[in-house]
A and B are shown apart, each in its own frame.
Chain A
Amino acid sequence: MKHFLRVVMLVCALSLSACRQSAQPTPTPDPDIQLEWLNADRPLRVGADALVFTLRNARAEPIQGAVIEVRGDMTHAGMIPVDGKAEGGTEDGRYVVPFEWTMGGDWIVTVRATLPDGRATLRRYDVQVRSQ
């Protein structure tokens, strides 16, 4: 009986991991949507910032009316994530997301673009923010 219970517990534990699903499902990257962070390659500093993204389709035509959501997570546990959002965009497909780097260090920036027709794409950037 004891042996049986152990096996049941083990199976339950293993099946629990199979049941796991993400609270925020990751969209499949859509090859028709090109999301780019224009000002990623500059020195990033602690404080207020504006992140500029462009959104284009496969023919390099700008996409307007989308929503771009940015989530910044520090690589160190215990830090509060920072969110930013831009809607609509300009005629040339630019989206400016107001964002605040709250601490120096390494950040994981996850950018999610959702088009008016519901299609979405996701990109992840690893960046370093200097405190000085």
Chain B
Amino acid sequence: MSRAEPLYRPPPDVLRLPLLGRLLKHRRGRLLFQIPLLIVAALLIYDGFTGEQIASRNLATVGAWVHYRGVVILALLLAGNLFCMSCPFTLPRTLAKRWAGRGGRFPRLLRNKWLAIGGLFLIFWLYEVTDMWASPLLTAWVIVAYFIAAFALELLFSESPFCKYICPLGAFNFAYSTLSPLQIGVRDPKTCQRCVGKECLNGSYSPQPVILVDQIGEAPPIQHDSRGVLGCGTLLYAPQIKSNMDCTLCLDCARACPHDNVILGVRSPLRELGAPRSLPRRWDVNFLLVALAFMGIVNAFGMVPPVYALLREMASALGTNAEWLLLLIIFLIGSLALPALLSIGAAWLANALTGKKQHPRSLRDTFAAFAPAFVPIGAGIWAAHYGFHFVIGALVIVPVFHNFLLDHGVTLFGTQVNWKLGAVIDAEQFAVVQVILLIGGYLLSLILARRIAAREFGAARAQLAFLPYALLFLALLLAAFFIFSQPMEMRGTPELDGLFH
């Protein structure tokens, strides 16, 4: 290595881009993204409560179940956690923080992802049981519940427990942002070592200037606004960030840093997932990654004809027509029990096939090492599902909004609604994209698992460790192919009556 070559080369920084960088780092930068989404959320709530209770004609259901889901997965794969960055639920939360001052910390027992996993399970199950997609009113209540939960938790606790430990949308976004091409980092790690204030974490809202013992010279200047800037809400320390997990991309760290040392770096999408220990080796964090891939399968399974056959068989075997119970069993098995059993089973098998009897490898270490490999295949499944709804219904928002305006006497765009607007591309053409997404995700998962196996078990035993995961990913791919090759049947009736005719 030549002497001129630095040991650490920071990646290209989005915050250095001429216009976008200034906008993102602006004191009110986040607000510029949040306010439009707050207005959208208010519109969805309003139309959900007062509009026509037909899902395909109401802004609440179209906005939440077609556009939000489609755009969020696209944004995660192409840029990063843009929804959490623009999250409108955190606006009243900020108000609560100002009112409450510094509350207590979230209970230690709950400082993990189990609540978020439970929340994801609950929302996917309730989505099916209550036919949430078919009810504008219920959708509006869910949005209201999000605002209330974010506000109440911020009022009670000092950190942001709603974002970090509870929010199911956030948990989904955190999990798949590990595949995103953007990540918070630092320009020069040595600057952070010398920094006393750690404003990226603590915030710079002290009315008194923060005393710095390090000499940073005149440039870049330290600018401590007397009104201050919040530090990281989810308590991440910028120079130590190795993962997008828990990063809401709020950029408060970049705004708070007096050394202008925080960057929004461009990275390879597989860098984080392939790097050792980029995620903590905890059961909860890693199970979130595994379970989401299975939840993607179960969520899509709820909308294809074989679910009827399964429900009928289960109803007959258990002697009950209670749909909530039958769906609960399907979701418990498919979203929690199967991922736990199969991924822990694969870890055990990998250990058994490769392990030394004298020094057995910990099951948790193997489970956690391979869990990131579930992210690409999971993302492929979700993108194939949500992408389908988005492309076949993206333009429906135009007539739905037009109809909304007409309901309020606004005839600016004419008095006739053109309901024919709908698909961006034909549903059958999107089948090709679905296949590409599924196979792409599967291949990336295989590549990652192979790399992880070589890293964790050595070249000689890598194949044996890789084998159980290769089989598991193949099973997931085949299940996804089976579901996505079925004709779509969008259920929306609360009873099973129709199944037994």
Q: Mark B379-410, 1 if CB is under 8 A from A, else 0.
A: 00000000001101110100000010011110
Q: How far is the CA of A126 from the CA of B54 in the complex (A)?
A: 11
Is there a chain B Cβ closer than 8 Å to A19's Cβ?
A: yes
A80 CB contacts on chain B under 8 angstroms: 56, 393, 396, 419-423
Indicate the member of A77, A105, A132 with the most B CB atoms within 10 Å: A77
Give the distance to chain B from A74, nearest Cβ to Cβ, in Å. Answer: 6
Is there a chain B Cβ closer than 8 Å to A57's Cβ?
A: no
Contact of B57 among A16, A73, A83, A129 (CB under 8 A): A73
B396 CB contacts on chain A under 8 angstroms: 77-80
Q: Do residues B46 and A79 form an inter-chain contact, with CB atoms below 8 A?
A: no
Total count of chain B residues near the partner, CB < 8 A: 46
Is there a chain B Cβ closer than 8 Å to A27's Cβ?
A: no
Q: Mark B131-149, 1 if CB is under 8 A from A, else 0.
A: 1011000000000000000
Q: Mark A120-132, 1 if CB is under 8 A from B, else 0.
A: 0000001011111
Q: Do residues A105 and B65 form an inter-chain contact, with CB atoms below 8 A?
A: no
Interface residues of A in 71-119 (CB under 8 A from B): 73-81, 83, 103-106, 108
Q: How far is the CA of A79 from the CA of B498 in the complex (A)?
A: 22
Known A-B contacts A77-B61, A103-B488; A108 and B54 likewise in contact (beta carbons under 8 Å): yes
Interface residues of A in 4-42 (CB under 8 A from B): 13, 16-17, 19-23
Once A and B bind, how many residue pairs between them come within 8 Å at the CB atom?
A: 122
Is there a chain A Cβ closer than 8 Å to B49's Cβ?
A: yes
Contact of B491 among A13, A22, A73, A106 (CB under 8 A): A106
Q: Do residues A76 and B56 form an inter-chain contact, with CB atoms below 8 A?
A: yes
Q: How far is the CA of A19 from the CA of B394 in the complex (A)?
A: 28
Q: Do residues B133 and A75 form an inter-chain contact, with CB atoms below 8 A?
A: yes
Q: How far is the CA of A13 from the CA of B403 in the complex (A)?
A: 19
Q: Do residues A130 and B408 form an inter-chain contact, with CB atoms below 8 A?
A: no
Is there a chain B Cβ closer than 8 Å to A60's Cβ?
A: no
Give the nearest-CB partner of B389 in chain A.
Answer: A78
Q: How far is the CA of A83 from the CA of B51 in the complex (A)?
A: 21
Total count of chain A residues near the partner, CB < 8 A: 31
Known A-B contacts A20-B50, A23-B403; A77 and B487 likewise in contact (beta carbons under 8 Å): no
Q: How far is the CA of A59 from the CA of B393 in the complex (A)?
A: 45
Q: Do residues B54 and A106 form an inter-chain contact, with CB atoms below 8 A?
A: no
Interface residues of B in 446-501 (CB under 8 A from A): 487-493, 498, 501
Is there a chain B Cβ closer than 8 Å to A46's Cβ?
A: yes
Contact residues of A with B, CB < 8 Å? 13, 16-17, 19-23, 43, 46, 73-81, 83, 103-106, 108, 126, 128-132
Contact residues of B with A, CB < 8 Å? 46, 49-52, 54-58, 61-62, 64-66, 131, 133-134, 303, 305, 389-390, 392-394, 396, 403, 406-409, 417, 419-423, 487-493, 498, 501
A/B interface sample: 23 pairs, CB < 8 A: A16-B408, A23-B407, A73-B56, A75-B493, A76-B65, A76-B490, A77-B56, A77-B62, A78-B62, A78-B392, A78-B393, A78-B394, A78-B422, A79-B392, A79-B393, A79-B490, A80-B393, A80-B421, A104-B489, A104-B490, A105-B491, A129-B489, A131-B488
19 more A-B contacts (CB under 8 A) besides A16-B46, A75-B493?
A22-B407, A23-B403, A73-B56, A77-B55, A77-B56, A77-B58, A77-B66, A78-B65, A78-B66, A80-B56, A80-B393, A80-B396, A104-B488, A104-B489, A104-B490, A128-B498, A131-B305, A132-B305, A132-B487
